[in-house]
């Protein structure tokens, strides 16, 4: 806590009181924002965990089937079967606002027909490859949702850290500095008021003594 380098005047104290009021109001608003950001962040983290488990489950099934397919199929047939993907996938990226933070929104679109995921005929391929393709296709949407969730969590975490620094700066530096400076100015003004009162009393005593002395001389001259 440090005192600001300002002139100890009433005008300066009035100005600092207004700034203190503004800083206090801003601190409350940022604190409320921080609490809401933390609430949103925890909800995103919970959703992120669920999406990760779903994506990992689909990918695990896909890789198991794919490994079996590679074992029972020749490398030549495998390469030819997967050379030209057939299904078209479109991802539209937009944004939404969460507590002044723009986070991404992925809109996943794919062909409705389930058979469209197979870019090959079934004569020279194994059932395990079909299962792998189905599992990879099923993993696509949770993977995109996971990417969306993780990016959202990252952006919210950055905003939380930035907001926390601002809250701490106001709470531990700016507001105490304003309070300390206002207290210092108030003490200085009180000292000045006491000094002024003392000087006025001395002047009043001097005037009173001078008046008494003048009257005494007048009385002596009359007598």
Of 88 and 159, which is predicted with more confidence?
A: 159
Is the Cβ–Cβ distance between 106 and 92 less than 8 Å?
A: yes
SS3 177: helix
Cα 166 to chain centroid, rounded = 9
Is the Cβ–Cβ distance between 135 and 5 less than 8 Å?
A: no
110 forms beta bridges with 89
CA-nearest of 58, 40, 12, 11 to 181 is 12
Sign of the CA dihedral 175, 177, 180, 186? negative
Question: Residue 99: which pLDDT band, with cuts at 50, 70 and 90?
Answer: confident
Least confident of 128-132, 146-150, 153-157, 195-199: 128-132
For the full predicted model, state whether its pTM sits above 0.85.
Answer: no
In the chain, the domains with their CATH numbers are 10-175 (1.10.287.3240)
CA-based radius of gyration for the chain: 39
Residue-wise pLDDT tens digits, 167-215? 999 999 999 999 999 999 999 888 888 888 888 888 888 887 887 877 7
């Amino acid at each position: 806590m440090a005192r600001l380098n300002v002139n100890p005047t009433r005008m300066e104290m009035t100005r600092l009181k207004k700034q203190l009021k503004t800083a206090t109001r801003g601190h409350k608003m940022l604190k409320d924002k921080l609490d809401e950001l933390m609430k949103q962040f925890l909800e995103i983290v919970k959703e992120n965990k669920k999406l990760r488990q779903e994506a990992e489950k689909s990918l695990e099934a896909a890789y198991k089937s794919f490994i079996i397919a590679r074992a029972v199929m020749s490398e030549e047939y495998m390469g030819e079967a997967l050379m030209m993907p057939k299904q078209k996938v479109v991802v539209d990226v937009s944004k939404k606002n969460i507590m002044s933070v723009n986070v991404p929104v992925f809109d996943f679109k794919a062909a409705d027909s389930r058979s469209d995921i197979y870019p090959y005929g079934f004569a020279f391929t194994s059932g395990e490859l079909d299962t792998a393709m189905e599992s990879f296709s099923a993993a696509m949407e949770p993977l995109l949702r996971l990417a969306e969730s993780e990016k959202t969590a990252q952006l919210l975490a950055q905003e939380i850290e930035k907001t926390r620094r601002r809250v701490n700066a106001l709470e531990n530096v700016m507001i105490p500095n304003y309070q300390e400076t206002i207290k210092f100015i108030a003490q200085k003004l009180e000292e000045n008021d006491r000094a002024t009162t003392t000087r006025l009393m001395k002047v009043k005593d001097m005037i009173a003594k001078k008046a008494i002395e003048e009257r005494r001389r007048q009385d002596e001259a009359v007598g």
